């Protein structure tokens, strides 16, 4: 495994608070694909890199049983704190060593996580645990974009772009670069010949300015910046928040509309 981020308790709690849990559109798409490729029964889904369970709980209505797996104990603890459906459970584990029987799983998913996996080892494990025609779905999103704020003294959308392009760029890892290319490298690493890519899945949502700042703090890139240079990391985020508030003419509680672009890689194991 190349990178171990998201593992400290504070980071896991921040993750729970500031990451989105609106995966319905993506889950519907994945489920339709599974239905088309494999069909019933839908006994077991495994969500790897489940974090605090945002990507796991939404699978509960489709499957008899859903198991969330994460390498981080702190994330698993956060996931277990949330009241969720009875058929969902969480356990510590690795994408590269899946503790499931051969041919026992209908669906393996990873939300915003596959870019941290050793893809060669993960694909071998996915192939082993999946039933014939069982599916893999690996999805992620690009940084949030701001919707429709014209006539501001400074362009707020540009300020959001600046966070990613100027402030966080020096702290990008190989994993983050895979996200910017929308998982091109990961698509190539999927060993099942029957594979496809779903793009242009847009989710719109409204959140206060303070949410955007929390979201940025929850990013691995910001956490690396914070470890390397805590004073400047805090100062640059405070400055960005102030510029953002000035541009909108509001406060940190001003509600802003964002859009997130998701992409999803789908593949089905040969019969």
Ligand X SMILES: C[S@@+](CC[C@H](N)C(=O)[O-])C[C@H]1O[C@@H](n2cnc3c(N)ncnc32)[C@H](O)[C@@H]1O
The count of chain residues that interact with ligand X, using the rule CB under 6 A, is 23
Judge whether 98 and 126 are in contact, CB under 8 Å. Answer: yes
Binding mask 177-216 for ligand X (x = CB under 6 A): ----------------------------------------
Nearest to ligand X of 75, 268 (CB atom): 75
Q: Does 113 bind ligand X (CB under 6 A)?
A: yes
Distance between CA 142 and CA 183 in Å, rounded? 11
Q: Does 119 bind ligand X (CB under 6 A)?
A: no
Indicate the angle between helix axes 220-228 and 209-217, nearest 10 degrees: 70
Indicate the angle between helix axes 230-248 and 209-217, nearest 10 degrees: 160
Q: Does 94 bind ligand X (CB under 6 A)?
A: yes
Nearest to ligand X of 75, 156 (CB atom): 75
Instruction: Determine which residue in the list 59, 95, 209, 221 makes contact with ligand X, applying CB under 6 A.
Output: 95
Instruction: For the CB of residue 235, give the shortest distance to ligand X in the complex, in Å.
Output: 25
Q: Does 175 bind ligand X (CB under 6 A)?
A: no
Judge whether 190 and 267 are in contact, CB under 8 Å. Answer: yes
Using Cβ positions, the residue closest to ligand X within the complex turns out to be 51
Distance between CA 226 and CA 217 in Å, rounded? 9
Nearest to ligand X of 1, 255 (CB atom): 1
228-232-235 Cα angle (round to 5): 140
Instruction: For the CB of residue 219, give the shortest distance to ligand X in the complex, in Å.
Output: 9
Instruction: Determine which residue in the list 17, 19, 133, 195 makes contact with ligand X, applying CB under 6 A.
Output: 19
Report the chain's C-alpha Rg in angstroms: 19
Q: Does 223 bind ligand X (CB under 6 A)?
A: no
Helices assigned H by DSSP within 71-111: 73-81
How many beta carbons lie within 10 A of that of residue 9, not counting itself? 13
Q: Does 135 bind ligand X (CB under 6 A)?
A: no
Distance between CA 99 and CA 91 in Å, rounded? 10
E strands of 114-254, at which residues? 130-141, 145-146, 194-208
What is the 8-class DSSP label of residue 250?
S
Distance between CA 178 and CA 182 in Å, rounded? 6
Instruction: For the CB of residue 117, give the shortest distance to ligand X in the complex, in Å.
Output: 5
Q: Does 26 bind ligand X (CB under 6 A)?
A: no
Binding mask 34-73 for ligand X (x = CB under 6 A): --------------xxxx--xx-------------xxxx-
Instruction: Determine which residue in the list 111, 143, 144, 156 makes contact with ligand X, applying CB under 6 A.
Output: 111
Give the range of 33-41, 90-98, 141-149, 181-189 binding ligand X by CB under 6 A: 90-98
For residue 130, CA distances in Å to 43, 65, 166 come to: 11, 14, 42
Nearest to ligand X of 74, 248 (CB atom): 74
Q: Which residues sit at the interface with ligand X, rule CB under 6 A?
A: 1, 6-7, 19, 48-51, 54-55, 69-72, 75, 94-96, 111-113, 116-117
């Amino acid at each position: 495994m190349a990178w171990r981020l998201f593992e400290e308790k504070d980071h896991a709690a921040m993750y729970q608070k500031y990451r989105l849990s609106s995966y319905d559109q993506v889950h519907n798409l994945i489920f339709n694909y599974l239905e088309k490729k494999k069909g019933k029964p839908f006994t077991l889904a495994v969500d790897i890199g489940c974090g605090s369970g945002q990507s796991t709980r939404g699978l509960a209505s489709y499957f008899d049983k859903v198991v969330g797996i994460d390498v981080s104990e702190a994330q698993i603890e956060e996931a277990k704190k949330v009241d969720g459906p009875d058929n969902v459970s969480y356990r510590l584990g690795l994408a590269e060593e899946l503790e499931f029987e051969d041919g026992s799983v209908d669906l393996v998913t990873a939300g915003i996580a596959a870019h941290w996996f050793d893809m060669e080892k993960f694909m071998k494990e996915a192939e082993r645990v999946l039933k014939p025609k069982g599916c893999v779905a690996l999805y992620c999103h690009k940084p949030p974009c701001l919707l429709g704020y014209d006539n501001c003294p400074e362009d707020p959308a540009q300020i959001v772009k600046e966070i990613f392009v100027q402030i966080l760029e020096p702290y990008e890892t190989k994993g983050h670069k895979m996200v910017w290319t929308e998982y091109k490298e990961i698509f190539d690493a999927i060993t099942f010949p029957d594979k496809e890519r779903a793009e242009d899945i847009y989710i719109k949502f409204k959140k206060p300015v303070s949410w955007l700042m929390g979201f940025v703090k929850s990013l691995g890139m910001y956490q690396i910046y914070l470890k390397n240079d805590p004073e400047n990391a805090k100062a640059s985020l405070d400055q960005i928040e102030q510029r953002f508030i000035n541009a909108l003419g509001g406060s940190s509680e001003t509600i802003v509309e964002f859009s997130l672009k998701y992409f999803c890689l789908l593949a089905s194991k040969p019969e």
